[in-house]
Amino acid sequence: MPDLDPQRQATDALMLTGFWYRALPADRVQRNELYKATLLEIPLVLGRDRAGKAFALRDACPHRGMPLNCGHFDGRNLECGYHGWQFDVHNGQCQVIPSLTADQNLKVDRIYAGSYPCEERDGFLWVYIADPAPPGAGIAPPVAAPGPAPQIEKFSDKYKLAYLQAEMPVSVDHGIIGLMDPAHGPFVHQAWWWRSRHSIHEKQKNFEPIPNGFRMSAHTPSSNSAPYKLLRLYADADSITTTIDFVLPNLRSETIRAGKYWFSSLTTVTPITRTHCRIDVVAAWNLFRWVPFGPELLKFVFAKFVEQDRRTMEVQAEGLKHNPHLMLIDDADRPAKWYFQLKAAHQHAKRSRTEMKHPMSGPVTLKWRS
Ligand code: FES
Ligand SMILES: [Fe+2]
């Protein structure tokens, strides 16, 4: 049953630990160089060793807090710029403390710089942010990630890959609910080649619970969106299906399949700080491989959209400074409600060490105009 009253909802801007997050596009990270990144307010230094293998360390020396990105990296060990302590970049273990004399037997190998599991996947370096150690635990060996970093679903061996990103001056919550919000389309994403606000019409979509998230079930997509129009140029329209999943903490994956052609994307909204997030869209596809302008066109369409969202959220951030509450209405904001409920259920399960109780009890049909 839809709620008849709009629901007041305060975003908590809580950044979930115990998950993989995208840190940097892989093509920007060269061997033997150091790069800064921030995830969940944690300062990181990233890079690649001589063999090209990526790593991520906390950007603070365990000795006296010097940012390690200011140090020297020889492709294997990272030497802090202050007193020359050296750390293995892959596990953070201290190798050398230059000030020690031969008879001083401080156990150097028991000292660690904070180190994070780091994996390269679909053109990005991902970093696993573990749950914080109990207070007073000190510097310890790195925690292993419970599973591999998320990846884009692909349906053939050959495909193209492209990414684009945008920073938004809003919390991760606003970034995410902005991404799943169907009602802003006609107002924010107007363009002559896409749609106008007059093309607004009633829609009905089926949703179902999936582990840690929800799915907009496979369906033939609505007629008023550009990729689908393009797809119809050379695929049988009846065979087009699209599925959109949202999974905690921040993953939105979309797949479109039309016969042997497919398009797949994984969009993430990454908490940088409590008040800033970054959207990364990575798309893989085997569509348009024979059309010379295909990928550029696709990137143009996506870039335009993301830029429209970014500009909107920049303005929204002004308003959010003065009113921390929002109003969520049925059905258009129901996915946003599920997001907050999923987040709360996840937190509750973690605190109480119980199985997470999914907020959706079964499939739901939502209706809105957009
Ligand atoms: S602060 Fe890094 S070695 Fe002293
Ligand atoms: Fe949008």
Residue 45 in this model has a pLDDT that exceeds 80: yes
| Bridge partners of residue 25, in order along the sequence | 124
Mean pLDDT of the chain: 88
Gap from CA of 188 to ligand 2 centroid (Å):
7
Mean per-residue pLDDT for 170-195?
85
For 88, the token pair is 């293995």
Instruction: Indicate the top mutation candidate among 66, 72, 77, 78 to test ligand 1's pocket, ranked by most ligand atoms within 8 A of CB.
Output: 66
Q: Tens digits of per-residue pLDDT, 236-259?
A: 555 678 899 999 999 999 998 887
The stretches of the chain forming alpha helices (DSSP H) are 172-179, 185-188, 226-232, 294-320, 334-352
Select from 82, 95, 96 the residue to mutate for testing ligand 1; criterion: most ligand atoms less than 8 Å from CB: 82
Q: Report the nearest atom of ligand 1 relative to the CA of 64.
A: 1
Nearest ligand, CA 267: 2
Which atom belonging to ligand 1 lies closest to the Cα atom of 85?
3
Ligand nearest to the CA of 81: 1
Give the pLDDT band of residue 285 (cuts 50, 70, 90).
confident
**In this predicted structure, what is the pLDDT of residue 194?**
56
Q: Which of 264, 279, 176 is nearest to 227 (CA)?
A: 264
Calpha distance 339→248 (Å, rounded): 8
Per mean pLDDT, which range of 89-93, 293-297, 313-317 is the poorest? Answer: 293-297
Q: What is the Å distance from ligand 2's center to 74 Cα?
A: 43
Give the pocket of ligand 1 (CB within 6 Å). 61, 63-64, 66, 80, 82-83, 85
Question: Dihedral sign, CA of 188, 249, 221, 261?
Answer: positive
Ligand nearest to the CA of 175: 2
Q: How far apart are CA 224 and CA 200, in angstroms?
A: 9
**pLDDT (0 to 100) of residue 15:** 92
Query: What is the predicted pLDDT for the residue at 201?
Result: 86
C-beta separation of 256 from 283 below 8 A: no
pLDDT digits (tens, 9 = 90+) for 55-107: 999 999 999 999 999 999 999 999 999 999 999 999 999 999 999 999 999 99
Q: Which ligand is nearest to the CA of 310?
A: 2
pLDDT of residue 132: 84
Question: What CA–CA distances, in Å, run from 318 to 7, 80, 112?
Answer: 22, 40, 42
Distance in Å, CA 312 to ligand 2 centroid? 9
Residue 66 Cα: closest atom of ligand 1: 1
Ligand 1 centroid from CA 62, angstroms: 7
* Nearest Cα residue to atom 1 of ligand 1: 64
Q: Round to whole Å and give the CA distance between 79 and 368.
A: 57
| Higher pLDDT, residue 248 or 229 | 248
- The position carrying tokens 């840690």 is 212
pLDDT recorded at residue 31:
96
* pLDDT computed for residue 46 by the predictor: 98
**What torsion, rounded to 10 degrees, do the Cα atoms 44, 123, 340, 245 define?**
-170
pLDDT band at 11 (very low <50, low <70, confident <90, very high): low
Span 340-363, pLDDT tens digits: 999 999 999 999 999 999 999 999
Pocket test for ligand 1, best of 45, 58, 61 (most atoms within 8 A of CB): 61
Angle value at C-alpha 151, between 148 and 153, nearest 5 degrees:
135
For the chain, report the end-to-end CA distance as a whole number of angstroms: 21
Q: In terms of DSSP H, where are the helices of 233-327?
A: 294-320
Ligand nearest to the CA of 59: 1
The CA 360 to ligand 2 mean position distance, Å, reads 25
Quote the ligand 1 centre to 86 CA distance (angstroms). Answer: 9
